[in-house]
Chains A and B, each alone.
Chain A
Amino acid sequence: MTTDFTELQLDALRELANIGSGNAATALAQMLGREVELAVPRALALPLADAVDAVGPADASRSAVVLPIFGDLDAIVLLLFSDLDAAALCGLLGVEAGTEWGDSALGEIGNILGTSYINALATLAGVAIEPRPPHVVTDMLGAIVASLLTETAGETDVALVLDSELDVQGVACSMSFLLLPTAGGVAELLERLGMG
């Protein structure tokens, strides 16, 4: 695959992210019984190091839900919560953040949102994909994102990040929602969209 994408391809990927995260936002709204607002997604194709910087400050503490997906398209779905957002979300679900129950609740949210997101993707692009069980960690943002991107980049130096923000209305709770496709996964996705 080539290392750079055309504007048209990035637009298509951004639209895909928009629809996927729209689906995820709907699922979250139903689960919480609150409105969820969705910011316009970004599609970033950058060298690894710049992609890590673009996601946020490297030393910020984040809770991350990592949902590997595999099938016709290999990728990682990543949800990121600041400590405050994780606490707010756990509060809405009646569990305490930073405990086993809190992590389990975040994992389950990741599972539901991630599955909604990739279901939209699967339908749109006509790919068969499945999620693996979620993995929850709390660590430095840079460490989380760099570790995942070096896996998905598969030793190339280009990372593709589809990045959306979900904001739960009425409480101070937002989260970042990222799709990190593998190098082969992006090519497959564009191919299916007729933009390869």
Chain B
Amino acid sequence: MGELAASASADEELVSIGLGSCIGLTLIDRARPVAALAHVMLPDSAAAADGAPGKYADRAVPALIEAAEELGARRLRLEAVIVGGAQMFTLGNGSALDVGARNTAAVRGALAAARIPLRAERTGGSRGRTVRVHVGDARVTVKEAGGTDVPLFGGQVPAARRTTRAGAR
């Protein structure tokens, strides 16, 4: 919760459990493979006192890039997957406080600013979700409340796409 983890160990799994309006933000270098995952709770860190960068959309992206690079990921190969950003409640206080949608927008914006392509997402709606990043085969699966894990991204390394990266820069 609000945390950030990275791994290059093939038998490891990175998990964010119970994402509601929060976002599980994954950066992956499928060629290594290296993966990094942050549990983003809020769109921006302007009002924040403490230092946990994984908690805020604007700080999570640079922190994830750094964590992945430390484990040997190449920045140009990083791809993003996002899960969460649901609006679980309609509390009758207007739409101004839809943290889920604002988190989603903030994470997309931060990825665009860092020029990291967003390859897959499962966002919005009203259900809680759990995201699992299987480091060894660079796979991301997502589970909705009451459901089972379903594949969202990865498994194979598309060699051609990595070298061309049309439009990504």
Contacts and interface: CB of A to CB of B under 8 A. Distances in A.
Contacts of B20: 139-140, 142-144, 146-147
Interface residues of A, number: 33
Interface residues of B, number: 38
Interface string A154-171: 011100000000000000
A66 B88 CA distance: 11
Interface in B74-98: 86, 88-93, 97
Given A132-B91, A138-B145, A147 B22 contact: yes
Interface string A98-140: 0000000000000000000000000000000000110101111
Contacts of B112: none
Contact of B99 (A47, A144, A147): A147
A144 B128 CA distance: 8
Contacts of B89: 66, 135, 137, 147-148
Contacts, number: 117
Main SS class of interface, A: mixed
Contact of B18 (A132, A133, A146): A146
A191 B16 CA distance: 38
Interface string A64-87: 001010100000100000000000
A87 B20 CA distance: 24
Nearest to B100: A147
A162 to B, nearest CB: 19
Interface of A: 3, 47-50, 52-53, 58-59, 61, 66, 68, 70, 76, 132-133, 135, 137-144, 146-148, 150-151, 155-157
